[in-house]
């Protein structure tokens, strides 16, 4: 299948591309802002790795938002 230029796409195809790109951008931005503002102890794993993974579309941001965040911290007293 040959690649089409933007001008060769139908209006519906352009709308679909823009919708998907907007969703990916929103997910990435949400994940990165949450990651930047969330304390390290509230993140499963290293924040650096999650930040890098957020740019693997569309799996990275979804994975962070679904599994990378902790909802609470377990405090263990010795």
How much is the pLDDT for 76?
74
Say yes or no to pLDDT of 34 above 70: yes
Say yes or no to pLDDT of 31 above 80: yes
How much is the pLDDT for 1?
66
Q: Which of 23, 48, 45, 22 is nearest to 36 (CA)?
A: 48
- Rounded to whole angstroms, how far apart are CA atoms 74 and 12? 49
Q: Residue 55: phi, psi to the nearest 5?
A: -90, 0
Looking at the chain, the whole-number percentage of residues with pLDDT higher than 70 is 95
Stated pTM of the model? 0.81
Query: Buried (b) or exposed (e) across 14-46, using 16+ Cβ within 10 A?
Result: eeeeeeeeeeeeebbeebbebbeeeeeeebeee
Say yes or no to pLDDT of 49 above 70: yes
């Amino acid at each position: 299948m040959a690649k089409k230029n933007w001008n060769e796409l139908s209006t519906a195809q352009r709308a679909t591309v823009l919708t998907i790109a907007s969703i990916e951008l929103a997910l990435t931005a949400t994940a990165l802002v949450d990651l930047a503002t969330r304390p390290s102890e509230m993140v499963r794993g290293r924040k650096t790795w999650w930040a890098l993974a957020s740019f693997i579309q569309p799996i990275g941001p979804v994975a962070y938002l679904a599994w990378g965040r902790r909802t609470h911290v377990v405090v263990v007293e010795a």
